[in-house]
Structure 1
Amino acid sequence: MFGCFGADQSMKDGPDIARIAALIGDPARSNILTALMSGKALTATELASEAGISAPTVSGHVRKLMDGGLIVGCNQGRHRYFQLAGSNVANLLEVIMGFAASQGHLRTRPGPRDPALRAARICYRHLAGKAGVRMYESLLARAFLVLDEDALSLTPQGESFLLSLGVDLTALSKKQPPHCRNCLDWSERRYHLGGPLSRSLMDFIFQEGWATQLPHSRTIQFTQTGQKAFERMFPL
């Protein structure tokens, strides 16, 4: 008969998810990680401001996150910058954020800046929010992407579409797969597009001058002309 594991019978082998969960679960550290989801490298002072903690306190949190492999640091001139350790960390955070939202675990009621974040924001170099969901659903509706169970793949029609935008498919194919994947959008509770393909489309939007990322924010702001061009490019 199998019984429940007691405290002295807990499994000792395998990945230590408790350590990672504890690192992410601290409110100050979760704010630091959320700030770095913008894809930008930030200084300790900027991270302290984002986390709502003092500059002396942030160094301890940053050190723990680095020891846990969640963020990395680099020196540039007189400053030291920090960023997420890679797309796998961003993917992990995105899944947690989506799950938390789906379970109703939301923070205090959104403030004045949040409507802009819900409309369009950057999520570790790809487009999220209403705009990101629109792009994802448009690509699926036109069979540029196909969804088989939970796996996304690019169709020949999709390849032609990307080539027409000037996306380098050869460079894209060299990226570590999957090249495109579902990301549950925490504000829309629907999927947006993640992965290298989504980053290529985000680069295209910036290069065309349709939108810019607001300073010190994850908000993506479309120009009036850019919004119309985006909606024509990704019709529903």
Structure 2
Amino acid sequence: MHSPHVAAAASLLSEESRSIMLTMMMDGRFHTSGELARAAGITPQTASFHLKKLEEAGFLAQTKQGRHRYYGLKDPAIAQVIESLLTITLPVKVSSFSQAAEDQAIRYARTCYDHLAGSLGILVAETLTSNRYIKKDQDQYILTPKGETFFSSFGIDLEAIRGKRRSFCHCCLDWSERKHHLAGSLGNALLECFLELGWLKRKSGSRALLLTEIGRNGFAEIFDLDITNKHKTHDNKVYLR
């Protein structure tokens, strides 16, 4: 009985320009139609047409500031669907040095809507699990009493984020690593901490996150991670998403 709705959603996602704009909004921020049009390589008029369709389908939220309208993903669940689809699609080989550099940055650390993804996100999730701060139960992570103490000491208000109308602590399959990273309101709170502490910073015009020297020291001290900014694919080839 739901097949027409599935077909309609699949049709929206299958159009290249729309998929590019949706992927750009995976950074969890709002963008103008002009920014999204440039990213997709289409005219502002065409972008407005696609954005209207996506908004009508419930994919997007819109806000207005002055003369500009800004668009972003309506719900974290939309981002999770897109991330899941990326795990089963074939990668596109890059054709320039700038694309290769962007691909490497995206694969190393990026925002998956509002939480940390990429190889760094996987390392953090694995460390939290090995330290028994969280434990995995099918597609969910469960916060342990030891984890309650850790996250609270890290400055995260667990009571406040538990009150949000969304998943608290679940597994999100990472398209570049084929492993799970930490999502939900707890994953979001942890990323916000990393950004506020200056461990990570956003890369302009990208959903890549850049590791700072402060962050390298912080991850080593708090998470016992010896990390660098470098990341290679499993076959040493470079791809672009």
Q: Which has the higher contact order (CA 8 A, sep 6+)?
A: 2
State the partner residue of 1:218: 207
1:177 Cα deviation (Å)? 4.8
2:209 partner letter: I
1:51-200 alignment runs, 5 A limit: 51-100=40-89, 105-109=90-94, 111-200=100-189
Deviation at 1:226, TM superposition (A): 1.3
Aligned equivalents of 2:28, 2:140: Cα separation in 1: 25
RMSD: 1.4
The answer as to whether partners of 2:162 and 2:185 remain within 8 angstroms in 1 is no
Does the 8 A contact of 1:184 with 1:192 survive in 2?
Answer: yes
TM-score (norm 1): 0.89
- 1-side partners of 2:30 and 2:166: how far apart? 24
CA deviations 1:143-197 (Å, max 9, x no partner) are: 1111123331100000000011110011021123531111111112211111110
Paired residues of 1:134 and 1:234 also in contact (CA < 8 A): no
Equivalent AA in structure 2 for residue 20 of structure 1 = A
Aligned counterparts, 1:42-57, within 5 A? 42-57=31-46
CA 1:51–1:138: 2 relative to 1, 3 Å? same
Per the TM alignment, residue 234 of structure 1 is displaced from its structure 2 partner at its CA by: 2.1
> Counterpart of 1:9?
none
Query: Does the 8 Å contact 2:198/2:214 carry over to 1?
Result: no
Mean Cα deviation higher: 136-145 or 222-231: 222-231
Alignment deviations for residues 197-220 of structure 1 (CA, whole Å, 9 cap, x no partner): 010000111111112101211011
Q: Deviation string for 1:83-115 (max 9, x for gaps)?
A: 111112112112212233xxxx11223622211
Q: Tell me, in whole angstroms, the C-alpha distance in 1 between the residues paired with 2:104 and 2:146.
A: 34
* Cα distance in 1 for residues equivalent to 2:126 and 2:175: 16
2:2 corresponds in structure 1 to: 14
Any idea what SS the aligned residue of 2:101 has?
coil
Q: Highest CA radius of gyration, 1 or 2? A: 1
- Give the match for residue 204 of structure 1: 193
Question: For 2:71, what is the secondary structure of its paired residue?
Answer: strand
Cα deviation, residue 235, structure 1? 2.9
> Secondary structure of 1:65's match?
helix
Identity of aligned residues (%): 37
The one-letter code matched in structure 2 to 1:38 is D
Within 2, Cα distance between the matches of 1:178 and 1:61? Answer: 29
TM score, norm. by length of structure 2? 0.87
Structure 2: runs of 5+ lacking an equivalent: 226-241
